[in-house]
A and B are shown apart, each in its own frame.
Chain A
Amino acid sequence: MHYGGAGAPLWPASGSGVNDEGMVAPMSVMKRVSLIFKSKANKALDRMEDPRETLDYSYQRQLEMLTQVRRGVADVATSRKRLELQMNTLQQQQTKLEGQAKKALGAGREDLAREALTRKSSLQTQLVDLQTQYQSLQADEEKLTAASQRLQSKVEAFRTQKETIKATYTAAEAQSRIGEAVSGISEEMGDVGMAVQRAQDKTAQMQARAGAIDELMASGALQDAIGPPRDDIQAELDQIGGGHDVDMELARLKGELSPGEAPREIGSGGGAEGRTESQSAARPGRSADQPQAGDGS
């Protein structure tokens, strides 16, 4: 017994291009997809002897689906926040590399500065990739949230209709009304169910990638993997720092005493004067998160 109107013509009659037996637009994609959804609804309707039981059964499934969608929305939001954190970390790393580049230039080490900027630009590629993922997750989150609200409205409407039907109609009378309501909402559930599944597959993929990036960041390998192994910019800068820090500090102090004479010049490779800016951007000494590769060699 089918309630969903599976016998209806394949296309709404409209004249040209429509033939008699419903074999319109042969293999129409949209019609076929809708028939598949309808057959799912019909299976749900066929399951129960008394169609009114179908109402309660369907309602239970609807509540389950609502829970599932809300969980889906929360999962996507979690993924999105994780990406946000990673993007912040990458940005901080970029700022740090830029500071190192400045300091290297200040010390006349254009090679080191180039290396730092090269790493910075590699991080930029990663950052752009993360931003793309972020936007896509944001769009998914919006869509799922909207889907969850739609389903919620329909579930409420269904509940009202369910009570009316149960109170007013006999089993025989109820059939056609139940068929319509159940087909409508089961189509929505099929749609939402697919959307949640898609979002979950996608977040699972992103979680895996995010996990890999987190591990790389934690091990410090992300920076090293990009540049030559163990040729660490900070280590070299620290070494240089050992010799020149006093000079630079002196220059900075001189600059402070006579502010007008501190030109903003980098990369001149000349003496130690005028380095006010680069000096303050990257203070000498060992940064806590950088292994001191220079020590052993």
Chain B
Amino acid sequence: MIVRILGEGQFEVDDAATDELNILDANLEAAVNAGDEKAFRSALEGLVSRIRTLGTPLAADALEPSALILPYAEATMDDVRAMLNDDGLIPG
């Protein structure tokens, strides 16, 4: 499956990693919901670095949409909330 890290580009990640990413993503969601900045930071950075490790960068001229999109590594919890609420953060 194709996963995008915002600000970094797209990665091809083996489907076998789905469960692992699922758990990490759930941790991220829980941290956002709990408003736990520390847990959020480590969950986001963990997820970003895991995708970088597991994934292979997609060719620059690929035009395929991603199955999953991860906020950029430095995103704050507010950034992520705004993204999820679609507060006009994403152009288009």
Contacts and interface: CB of A to CB of B under 8 A. Distances in A.
Residue from B33, B61, B69 with most neighbouring chain A CB atoms (10 Å): B69
Contacts of B47: 30
Interface stretch (A8-16, A203-211, A246-254, A255-263): A8-16
A191 B5 CA distance: 9
Contacts of B70: 29-30, 33
Contact of B63 (A30, A143, A184): A184
Given A4-B65, A189-B91, A194-B90, A27 B29 contact: yes
B68 A30 contact: yes
Contacts of B32: 29
A101 to B, nearest CB: 40
Interface in B23-38: 23, 25-26, 28-29, 32-33
Contacts of B22: 11, 14, 17-18, 24-25, 28
A195 B90 CA distance: 10
B7 A34 contact: no
B65 A38 contact: yes
Interface string A6-48: 0000011011111000001111111111101110110110000
A24 B67 CA distance: 14
A41 to B, nearest CB: 7
Q: Range of interface residues on chain A? A: 35 or more
Residue from B15, B28, B62 with most neighbouring chain A CB atoms (10 Å): B62
Contacts of B62: 154, 157, 184
Contact of B65 (A17, A180, A193): A180
B78 interface: no
The secondary structure that dominates the A interface is: helix
Interface in A25-73: 25-34, 36-38, 40-41, 43-44
Interface stretch (A103-111, A145-153, A166-174, A237-245): A145-153
B15 A43 contact: no
Contact of A191 (B6, B15, B63, B86): B6
B18 interface: yes
A4 B67 CA distance: 11
A231 to B, nearest CB: 43
A183 interface: yes
Interface of B: 1, 3-4, 6-9, 15, 18-19, 21-23, 25-26, 28-29, 32-33, 47, 59-72, 80, 83-84, 86, 89-92
7 contacts: A25-B29, A37-B65, A143-B7, A154-B61, A181-B63, A189-B91, A195-B6
Instruction: Across the A-B interface, give the 3 residue pairs with the lowest CB-CB distance, nearest first.
Output: A193-B91, A40-B92, A184-B63
Interface of A: 4-5, 11-12, 14-18, 24-34, 36-38, 40-41, 43-44, 143, 146-147, 149-150, 153-154, 156-158, 161, 180-181, 183-187, 189-191, 193-195, 197-198
